[in-house]
């Protein structure tokens, strides 16, 4: 006799064969009531952080990050010592000790793509020779494929409205296709990282096509295989566009975007997440999925989307985009929480570390101008340039800040992606396609040192209470 399964629904026992019709995403009155209990007891007085000397966000009152680890992978420089005092300076970024500006200048002078070279440098700590680079590129090409039926069974089924969630799900699912998923030896972790670096463009672009067809109901669906003769940046454009066509400048700028987003120290949220999760001894797929969850946040990888939304708002509400006074007045409204999303933030201006300049934004700026000219959108570029000039002045006048502010990489990256015709849904995944290089280097570093599990302290400020029997509550 077949056993009958039962489950509770309220006070009623139900047969599992009975269909339960409900809105999976509904916030019921009960949930709302429970939420009030959460919010009522989950608020902590901000003054207590100072009282207990807790650095919120792992940064002190001067904006200096709390030192939590050591790395050889990259370095961010925003201050120098002058007469024995720390003084803000022009921002510098070093990959494995090499100035990012010199690295970019190097492959631009040779008229070649740079991202694959940067991946090699971050992983192995040295600049490759021509033969080494060619061999490494072929290694990536060899891993630039997905398991049989993966596109059909995983990507095309149950598509998500958010590509970062699709990407994370795909990464976790690849665990099931790996015969050695939990092997944390360096050779195996490196193999897993190389596979993820090579396949992230496929996972991202194919997820978008699935979303575009099934969720947006765009009745056109196509899948282009990656081309072994193309770079990572070229393949993204090749797979994304129905005609696979792109200009050399488009590919060059997308490659540059990948280079500039590939790594940014061990303290950014997603890379720190990679270190924290890796320190537990978990597998590569879990560590990278956790990093993806971090990067998805609008305070991190999603920041360029907010920049684009803010500029769309400016363009709708400012009559003359070249009128400094009118633009400045609207920026003040944004800062005073009177316009746009009323957060009081001018997105894309300011950085947790950089003050005088973000070297990535500095490098990007000239290429953005060239691309805007190619696309016939110089008016939009001039607006961006004007806001870049005005916003730091207005912020310094209106706010008491401990350091200067300047445009960061997010200020221009969203604009670049829009010029390239890249859909908004892929902005953050492109960040991930680049940053998987840095995450991989940091995971390998954490696995190699085999250090202690990261376990920072939290102080409880709640009161101790006596237990109350059920009949007396």
Closest CA to 428 of 251, 169, 166, 181: 166
Extended beta strands in 213-252, E state = none
Angle CA 95–96–97, to nearest 5: 90
> How many Cβ atoms are within 10 Å of 371's Cβ, its own excluded?
21
Whole-angstrom distance, CA of residue 78 vs CA of residue 89: 5
SS3 content of the chain, % helix, strand, coil (to 5): 55, 5, 40
Residue 424's alpha-carbon distances to 35, 65, 115, 289, 428, in angstroms, are 32, 31, 22, 21, 8
Q: Which two tokens stand for residue 403?
A: 């350091």
Helices (H), 175-219: 186-214
- 121-125 long-range contacts (CB < 8 A, ≥24 apart) are 121/95, 121/96, 122/73, 122/74, 122/95, 122/96, 122/262, 122/263, 122/437, 122/438, 122/440, 122/441, 123/190, 123/193, 123/437, 123/440, 123/441, 123/444, 125/72, 125/96
What element of type H or E holds 253? Answer: helix 248-261
Whole-angstrom distance, CA of residue 346 vs CA of residue 290: 28
CATH for the stretch 303-419 = 1.10.230.10
Q: Which two tokens stand for residue 375?
A: 């696309």
Domain residue spans of the chain = 99-301+426-449, 303-419
Whole-angstrom distance, CA of residue 428 vs CA of residue 353: 21
User: Are the C-beta atoms of 426 and 204 separated by less than 8 Å?
Assistant: yes
Largest CA distance in the chain: 87
Topology of domain 99-301+426-449 in CATH is Citrate Synthase; domain 1 (1.10.580)
Q: Which residue has the tokens 């709708």?
A: 316
Whole-angstrom distance, CA of residue 123 vs CA of residue 137: 13
pTM of the complete model: 0.90
Whole-angstrom distance, CA of residue 262 vs CA of residue 437: 6
Residue 213's alpha-carbon distances to 24, 224, 230, in angstroms, are 23, 15, 26
Active-site residue list:
351, 410
**Reduced to 3 states, what is the DSSP secondary structure of residue 127?**
coil
List average pLDDT for each run of 10 residues in the chain, which is 473 residues long: 48 50 84 83 82 86 84 92 84 96 95 97 97 98 95 92 96 97 97 98 97 89 95 98 96 97 95 97 98 93 91 96 97 96 92 88 90 94 95 86 81 92 96 98 95 91 92 93
Q: Is 417 exposed, middle or buried (0-12, 13-18, 19+ CB in 10 A)?
A: buried
> How many Cβ atoms are within 10 Å of 453's Cβ, its own excluded?
9
Q: C-alpha dihedral over 384, 385, 387, 390, to 10 degrees?
A: 180
Residue 295's alpha-carbon distances to 117, 163, 172, 274, 347, in angstroms, are 23, 12, 16, 11, 17
**88 pairs with which residues across the strands?**
79
């Amino acid at each position: 006799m077949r056993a009958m399964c039962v489950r509770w629904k309220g006070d009623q026992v139900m047969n599992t064969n009975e269909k339960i019709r409900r809105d999976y995403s509904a916030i019921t009155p009960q949930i709302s009531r429970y939420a009030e209990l959460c919010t009522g007891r989950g608020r902590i007085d901000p003054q207590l952080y100072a009282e207990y000397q807790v650095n919120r966000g792992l940064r002190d009152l001067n904006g200096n990050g709390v030192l939590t680890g050591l790395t050889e992978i990259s370095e961010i420089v925003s201050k120098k010592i002058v007469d024995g005092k720390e003084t803000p300076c022009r921002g510098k970024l070093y990959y494995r000790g090499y100035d990012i500006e010199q690295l970019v200048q190097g492959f631009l002078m040779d008229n070649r793509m740079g991202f694959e070279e940067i991946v090699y440098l971050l992983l192995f700590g040295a600049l490759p020779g021509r033969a080494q680079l060619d061999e490494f590129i072929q290694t990536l090409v060899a891993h630039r494929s997905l398991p049989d039926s993966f596109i059909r069974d995983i990507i095309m089924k149950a598509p998500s409205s958010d590509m970062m969630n699709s990407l994370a799900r795909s990464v976790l699912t690849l665990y099931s296709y790996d015969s050695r998923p939990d092997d944390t030896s360096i050779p195996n972790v490196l193999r897993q990282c190389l596979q993820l670096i090579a396949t992230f463009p496929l996972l991202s672009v194919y997820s978008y096509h699935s979303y575009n067809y099934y969720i947006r109901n765009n009745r056109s669906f196509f899948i282009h295989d990656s081309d072994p003769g193309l770079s990572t940046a070229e393949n993204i454009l090749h797979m994304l566009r129905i005609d696979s066509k792109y200009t050399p400048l488009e590919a060059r700028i997308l490659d540059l975007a990948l280079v500039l987003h590939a790594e940014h120290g061990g303290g950014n949220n997603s890379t720190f997440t990679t270190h924290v999760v890796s320190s537990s001894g978990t597998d590569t797929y879990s560590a990278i999925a956790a990093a993806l969850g971090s990067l998805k946040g609008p305070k991190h990888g999603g920041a360029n989307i907010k920049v684009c939304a803010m500029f769309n708002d400016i363009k709708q509400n400012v009559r003359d985009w070249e009128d400094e006074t009118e633009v400045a007045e609207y920026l003040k409204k944004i800062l005073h929480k009177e316009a746009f999303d009323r957060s009081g933030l001018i997105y894309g201006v300011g950085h947790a570390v950089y003050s005088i300049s973000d070297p990535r934004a500095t490098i990007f700026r000239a290429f953005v101008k060239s691309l805007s000219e190619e696309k016939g959108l110089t008016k939009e570029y001039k607006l961006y340039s004007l806001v870049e000039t005005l916003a730091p002045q207005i912020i310094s006048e209106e706010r008491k800040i401990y350091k200067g502010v300047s445009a960061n990489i997010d200020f221009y990256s969203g604009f670049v992606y829009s010029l390239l015709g890249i859909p908004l849904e892929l902005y953050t995944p492109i960040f991930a396609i680049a940053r998987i290089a840095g995450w991989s280097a940091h995971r390998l570093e954490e696995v190699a040192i085999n250090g202690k599990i990261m376990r920072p302290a939290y102080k409880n400020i709640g009161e101790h209470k006596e237990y109350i029997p059920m009949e007396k509550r």
